[in-house]
């Protein structure tokens, strides 16, 4: 799993690439937790290069979303591939998350969330 971190104003973007399974999800969890601990409450996760996700990956995203909403922040997701989107759908997660087709839109909406 490769994790690239980018700044977009008050939003941080995490671009993930590879498989998001029980092996790699700890690494992603650490990155997100690290950002929140530094005081960042608006995070966009770009999943364009993620070809596979299992429940472990969903768990990390759900934990981050819960924590950020409590802090009046937001976690938005961008660029889900069809199979990844399907896994979110089956889990009933599509209704919990703000999901966007393009990263720029996710960043704009995440920056404005709750304001």
Partner 1 sequence: MRDHVEQEFKADLAQLERIGEFIVTVLREFGLAEPKIFHLQLAVDEACSNIIKYGYANAATAEDDTIMICCSRCNGTIAVTIKDRGRPFDPTIVAPPDLETSLEERKIGGLGIYFMRKLTDEISYTYKDGQNVLTMVVRY
**What is the distance of C-alpha 27 from the center of its chain?**
13
Judged by beta carbon, residue 3 or residue 91, the one nearer partner 1 is 91
Judged by beta carbon, residue 57 or residue 103, the one nearer partner 1 is 57
- Span of 9-17, 38-46, 64-72, 101-109 interacting with partner 1 by CB under 8 A: 64-72
Integer angstrom CA distances of residue 92 from 7, 13, 85, 88: 30, 24, 11, 6
> ∠ at Cα 93 (108, 107), nearest 5°?
10
Minimum Å gap between C-beta 79 and partner 1 is: 19
The reply to whether 33 sits near partner 1 by the rule CB under 8 A is: no
The single residue among 3, 96, 98, 99 that binds partner 1, judged by CB under 8 A, is: 96
The single residue among 3, 27, 48, 54 that binds partner 1, judged by CB under 8 A, is: 54
- One DSSP character per residue, 24-80 reads THHHHHHHHHHHHHTT--EEEEEEEEEEEE-HHHHHHHHHHHHHHHHTT-EEEEE--
Contact residues toward partner 1 (CB under 8 A) are: 19, 21-23, 52, 54-56, 58-59, 62-63, 65-66, 69, 83, 86-87, 90-92, 96
């Amino acid at each position: 799993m490769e994790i690239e971190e980018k700044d977009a104003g008050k939003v941080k973007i995490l671009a993930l690439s590879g498989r998001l399974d029980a092996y790699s999800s700890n690494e992603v969890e650490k990155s997100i937790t690290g950002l929140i601990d530094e005081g960042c409450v608006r995070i966009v996760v770009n999943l364009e290069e993620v070809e596979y996700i299992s429940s472990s990956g969903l768990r990390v995203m759900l934990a981050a979303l819960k924590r950020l909403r409590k802090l009046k922040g937001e976690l938005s997701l961008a660029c889900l591939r069809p199979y990844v989107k399907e896994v979110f759908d089956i889990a009933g997660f599509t209704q919990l998350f703000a999901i966007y087709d393009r990263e720029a839109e996710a960043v704009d909406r995440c920056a404005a969330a709750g304001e």
